[in-house]
Amino acid sequence: MKERLVVIGNGMASLRFLERLTERAPGRYDVTVVGAEPQAAYNRVLLSSLLGGEVDEAACAFRGLDWYEAHGIRLITGAPVTQVDRENALVMVGETHVLPFDKLVLAVGSLPIRLPKPGMDLPGIITFRDLADVAAIRKAAVTGAKAIVIGGGLLGLEAAVGLARLGVDTTLLHVMDRLMERQLDHHAAGLVKRAMESRGIRVLLKADTAHVEGDGRVERLVLSDGTVLPADLVVMSVGVRPNAVLAQGAGLEVGRGIKVDDRMTSSDPRIFALGECAEHRGMVYGLVEPAYDQAEVLSRHLVGEEAAYLGTSLATSLKVSGLPVFSAGEIEAPEHAETVVMSDPGLGLYRKLIIGDGKLLGAVFVGDIAEQGWCKTLIRTGEPIADHRDDLMFGRVHAPDSQSLAA
């Protein structure tokens, strides 16, 4: 009899893991996947496009139900797991399912944070995390509505862009003095702000939310400086925390997330974790790239190959409202480091390299991020960049085959 592998969670990390596993060893395991959401895994990165009406739900889909069937994967959707019984090696879904396992993968993602401020439980205050959230926001975003997005991180920006595209009067609040402050320096953040504003979004920095008011439903938001902002809809996007509830209940070792080793194994050798719920070497990641790296490693491990996950270097490559943005490594020059900068605000173009001792320590790009892969490699390997300084700054001559160099 085949080993029974149960995967809890059907997000992007989960699907990538299943794809790699079935590629490597088709039929090796008897696989069951249980997801809390009513749909099979979809592209969460496209939620803002979906919110803005750029794409429909179908475009967000990855694999049809036939794919799971064809690969012998039993998929159970709309089934939030309530308990992991390690002693009996069972996964319980309320009263409806009891799933025995030989090996268990936790890919349960993260949970959106709600600000602990008065009024945050009023109807009309919505997080931005899944398809249900998008549906709720779209329903509230009627013509003439006033929306406030709290949080100037990537997800908050995307939510604001999606709302603005729907024609909603949108204000973005961020408590820091610049947007995406962990990824961007002031100049790059300024360009992003400019891009947001060009979409009609009002951006308020150093905006500290005091509380939300309303009679049975959100009506206004009050800042700590006393400013009152009318609101029909508040989207909360102030961050996420790893979803470690089940693991905690099962008595697994948990820090900020579920602690795993380089093979993604938890404190119980039968149980693994990957994606945003996992804590590896003290790090929890909120991006898709590390999750995919982890999926790769775990799939190898589970088919008996040698594989180790050593962490993903911190880099961000994304498009904010259609504006490509990249940052990796240091974003401000440490002492004795050199900074090389190119900036054309009219083009929405910005590039900064931070160089120390002839090595690339960090890079922040806005507008054109073509050399980002190369930068990541150079930061990771620490190889001298003397001959590449200008190419990194101004770009290489582009041709499809040159992309292989950017790996």
Q: Would you call 104 helix, strand, or coil by DSSP?
A: strand
Question: What is the full DSSP assignment across 322-366?
Answer: TEEEEEEE-SSPPTT-EEEEEEEGGGTEEEEEEEETTEEEEEEEE
Residue 123 or 395 with smaller CB distance to other proteins: 395
Piece in contact with other proteins (CB under 8 A), picked from 23-31, 239-247, 261-269, 344-352: 344-352
CB 110 within 8 A of CB 242: yes
State CA 111 to chain mean position distance: 11
Q: How far is the CB of 144 from other proteins (least distance, A)?
A: 29
Q: Does residue 288 interact with other proteins by CB under 8 A? A: yes
Q: How far is the CB of 356 from other proteins (least distance, A)?
A: 11
Residue 102 or 368 with smaller CB distance to other proteins: 368
Structure tokens at 237: 């996007």
Task: Indicate which single residue of 307, 370, 380, 388 sits in contact with other proteins (rule: CB under 8 A).
Answer: 370
Task: Indicate which single residue of 59, 98, 283, 310 sits in contact with other proteins (rule: CB under 8 A).
Answer: 59
Q: How far is the CB of 321 from other proteins (least distance, A)?
A: 12
Q: Does residue 368 interact with other proteins by CB under 8 A? A: yes
Residue 140 or 160 with smaller CB distance to other proteins: 160
Q: Strand pairing partners for 170?
A: 147
**Of 203, 201, 129, 212, residue with least CA distance to 168:** 201
Q: How far is the CB of 126 from other proteins (least distance, A)?
A: 22
Residue 46 or 113 with smaller CB distance to other proteins: 46
Binding mask 295-334 toward other proteins (x if CB under 8 A, else -) reads: ----------------------xxx----xxx--------
Pairing outcome for strands 202-204 and 169-173: parallel
> What end-to-end distance do the CA atoms of the chain give, in Å?
41
Q: Does residue 224 interact with other proteins by CB under 8 A? A: no
Size, binding site for other proteins by CB under 8 A: 47
The Cα–Cα gap between 244 and 241 comes to: 9
**Of 235, 228, 207, residue with least CA distance to 139:** 235
Piece in contact with other proteins (CB under 8 A), picked from 94-102, 137-145, 207-215, 370-378: 370-378
Structure tokens at 199: 């979409």
Residue 43 or 267 with smaller CB distance to other proteins: 43
Q: Does residue 46 interact with other proteins by CB under 8 A? A: yes
Residue ranges of alpha helices (H) inside 245-313 are: 245-250, 288-302
Question: What is the full DSSP assignment across 8-19?
Answer: E--SHHHHHHHH
The Cα–Cα gap between 231 and 220 comes to: 5
Q: How far is the CB of 185 from other proteins (least distance, A)?
A: 14
Task: Indicate which single residue of 53, 78, 255, 395 sits in contact with other proteins (rule: CB under 8 A).
Answer: 395
Q: How far is the CB of 195 from other proteins (least distance, A)?
A: 13
Q: How far is the CB of 307 from other proteins (least distance, A)?
A: 19
Q: How far is the CB of 123 from other proteins (least distance, A)?
A: 30
CB 130 within 8 A of CB 46: no
Piece in contact with other proteins (CB under 8 A), picked from 54-62, 85-93, 121-129, 197-205: 54-62
Q: Does residue 397 interact with other proteins by CB under 8 A? A: yes
Give every CB contact of residue 322 below 8 A, 6+ residues apart in sequence. Answer: 195
**Of 381, 342, 332, residue with least CA distance to 183:** 332
The Cα–Cα gap between 170 and 149 comes to: 7
Q: Does residue 407 interact with other proteins by CB under 8 A? A: yes
The Cα–Cα gap between 147 and 168 comes to: 7
User: Which positions from 24 through 43 interact with other proteins, judged by CB under 8 A?
Assistant: 43
**Of 321, 260, 259, 312, residue with least CA distance to 287:** 312
Q: How far is the CB of 328 from other proteins (least distance, A)?
A: 12
Task: Indicate which single residue of 338, 357, 381, 405 sits in contact with other proteins (rule: CB under 8 A).
Answer: 338
CB 172 within 8 A of CB 204: yes
Give every CB contact of residue 39 below 8 A, 6+ residues apart in sequence. Answer: 61, 77, 131
Residue 124 or 329 with smaller CB distance to other proteins: 329
Which residues here bind other proteins, judged by CB under 8 A? 43, 45-46, 49, 54-55, 59, 62, 288-289, 292, 317-319, 324-326, 338-347, 349, 355, 368-373, 389-390, 393-395, 397-400, 403, 406-407
